[in-house]
Amino acid sequence: MSSPSHHIAAPSLEERIPLNIVTGSLGSGKTTLLSHLLSNGIDGLRPAVLINELGAVSVDGAILDGLGSEITELASGCLCCMYSDDLRAVVINALNAKPDLLIIETSGAAYPDPLLYSLLELGLTIDAIITVVDALNLNTHWSASDTCVAQIHAADVVLLNKIDLAPATLVDSAEARIREVSSTALILRTVQAEADPHLLFGTAFPRTGRELADYRRRVDAGIGHRHLEDENLQSMVLRAAGPVERQAIRSFIRALPSRVFRVKGILAVKGSKNPELLSVVCGRGRLFSGLPPSSRAELGAVVVIGKGIAGDQPALQAALDRCVL
pLDDT tens, position by position, 269-306: 999 888 888 888 767 788 888 766 554 567 898 988 78
Q: Decide: helix, strand or coil at residue 244.
A: strand
pLDDT of 227 over the 50 cut: no
Q: How many domains does the chain have?
A: 2
Residue type, 66: G
Among the candidates 175, 193, 228, a domain finishes at 228
CATH code where residue 291 lies: 3.30.1220.10
pLDDT tens, position by position, 72-121: 666 545 454 454 566 677 787 777 777 888 888 887 777 777 777 777 76
Output 43 or 122, whichever has higher pLDDT: 43
Q: What is the 3-state secondary structure (H, E, C) of 22-74?
A: EEECCCCCHHHHHHHHHHHCCCCCCEEEEEECCCCCCCHHHHHCCCCCEEEEE
pTM: 0.65
Q: Range of 314's domain?
A: 232-324
pLDDT tens, position by position, 152-206: 988 888 999 999 999 999 999 999 999 999 888 889 999 999 988 877 876 655 5
Considering only 64-78, 165-179, 216-230, which range has the smallest mean pLDDT?
Answer: 216-230
CATH code where residue 114 lies: 3.40.50.300
Distances, alpha carbon 115 to alpha carbons 16, 42, 218, in Å:
20, 25, 12
Which pLDDT score is estimated for 200? Answer: 80
pLDDT tens, position by position, 33-52: 988 888 887 777 888 888 87
pLDDT of 15 over the 90 cut: no
213 with 285, same domain: the answer is: no
In degrees and rounded to multiples of 5, residue 71 shows phi and psi of -115, 125
Which pLDDT score is estimated for 124? Answer: 67
Among the candidates 183, 210, 228, a domain finishes at 228
172 with 47, same domain: the answer is: yes
pLDDT of 260 over the 60 cut: yes
